[in-house]
Amino acid sequence: MGTFGVSTAFGMLLLLPLYVQQLGGNEANFGVVLSAATVTAVLCIGLLIRYPDALRPHTVVAAAIAVYGLGAAGASFVTGTWMPLVGVGVLLGTSWAVVYTATPMVMSEMVTDEGRAAYFGYLTGTQQVGIGAGPLVARVLIGTDLGFRGTFLAAGVICLAAVALTVAVGFLTPDARATRDRGGLVPNAGSVPFKEAVRRILRSEAVYSLAMILLFACLFTSMTQFQTTFARSQGLDYAVFYVTYTAAVIFSRFVLASMATRFDARLVVASAVSAMALGVAAFLAVGSSALLYGAASALLGLGYGLALPSVQAQAVNVSEEAVRPRVLPMAGLLFQAAILGFPLFAGWIIADLGYAALFALLVSLALAQAVIGWWRYSATRSAMFPAGPR
């Protein structure tokens, strides 16, 4: 419920590029606003990697949601020019990066290896419900006397409720750090030196999952952050994207994910990223057709919705027990660095070359994921069933 609250606020802030345009800016200017938090976000997540057990994950998430609410409220005070939104962008980007990184850490402490992919799917599915509902809620509010500024303030109020719900998690779940310290059966994050832990992770199979997560971020941030302006440029309704994409992601994570557990996880990942590549390519043919727009959005959501939690879970499952507390924040670091940094590049491409050039680039990134996915599946099959004399 707490995740749904902050994700809804995040979704409401997806209309920020339209507000930047209202204040005289364009996509490239919005890219500057969004990317302003890149350094601070990397530093904060870096601290999570270095000291993953310093605070309970739910405490980290609650504090980050509070900061996000502050940033959302701050956006409501910006008038006249888009430049002050750069400071707001630092708060929003940094806090969301921490929320997105630390929330799976909360869930990971409560589940087993076998259930991790499914529960990550439930968690990120809930996030997608909020992210998809947020723009629709904001669209309604903007049409009232609240306008953009009142809508952003409402997002800040929603974050207050999300903070309270997240704090409640601490009272409902035991402290996994204390369990590790008492039992001594599960190594804590400090049992392996930081540099050695990073070296072990990068030399393990987890590195392929981390590379795919980096590419996921470039795709996700481009497709969601610039969707309102893309729809406007094509004469389409951005609600079509958010409704169909969100519905597809929810279906993937709450229905397909449980069905996919019967198959090899690497096969599921390879198939899902291939579907996602087709979805991204379909945006090149959308034109002004709402039907094609919805179909492309749904295909993108089906692939992305199934693939990301599977890749996240795989990154943890193939890692040594002693370094697992650092894997998720490391994945979050890569994801959020791309989430915040890539829009600077994407905004420049849109402003100078148009949306077709951006989608062409995104197709190449999705194809790179598909190559990695099928290669890892093939390599694993070969290792399990080596060719022998006949």
The full DSSP string for 318-352 is TS-GGGHHHHHHHHHHHHHHHHHHHHHHHHHHHHH
* pLDDT tens for each residue of 207-243: 888 899 999 989 988 888 888 889 988 999 988 998 8
Whether the model pTM is above 0.85: no
- What whole-number percentage of the chain has pLDDT above 90? 26
Confidence of residue 49 (pLDDT cuts 50, 70, 90): confident
Residues 276-288 have a mean pLDDT of 91
Domains of the chain (ranges; CATH) run 2-382 (1.20.1250.20)
244 secondary structure, DSSP code: H
* pLDDT tens for each residue of 112-145: 766 776 777 788 778 888 888 888 899 899 888 8
Both tokens of residue 92? 């929003």
Residue 83 CA to residue 357 CA, distance in Å, equals 27
Residues 193, 26: contact at Cβ < 8 Å?
A: no
* Cα within 13 Å of Cα(336), Cβ side: 29
- What whole-number percentage of the chain has pLDDT above 70? 92
CA 342 vs CA 279, 324, 339: distances in Å: 20, 27, 6
CA 130 vs CA 79, 127, 155, 228, 247: distances in Å: 27, 5, 12, 17, 11
Residue 378 CA to residue 381 CA, distance in Å, equals 5
Least confident residue range of 2-11, 286-295, 305-314 = 305-314
194, pLDDT greater than 50: yes
Residue 352 CA to residue 342 CA, distance in Å, equals 16
Mean pLDDT across the chain, nearest whole number? Answer: 84
Phi-psi category of 184—alpha, beta or left, where left has phi over 0 and alpha has psi -120 to 50? Answer: left
Least confident residue range of 37-46, 54-63, 169-178 = 169-178
Residues 359-379 have a mean pLDDT of 91
4, pLDDT greater than 50: yes
| Amino acid identity for residue 125 in this structure | G
Residue 142 CA to residue 152 CA, distance in Å, equals 9
pLDDT score for 385? 60
pLDDT score for 321? 73
pLDDT score for 367? 94
5, pLDDT greater than 90: yes
List the end-to-end C-alpha distance of the chain, in Å, as a whole number: 57
Residues 159, 6: contact at Cβ < 8 Å?
A: yes
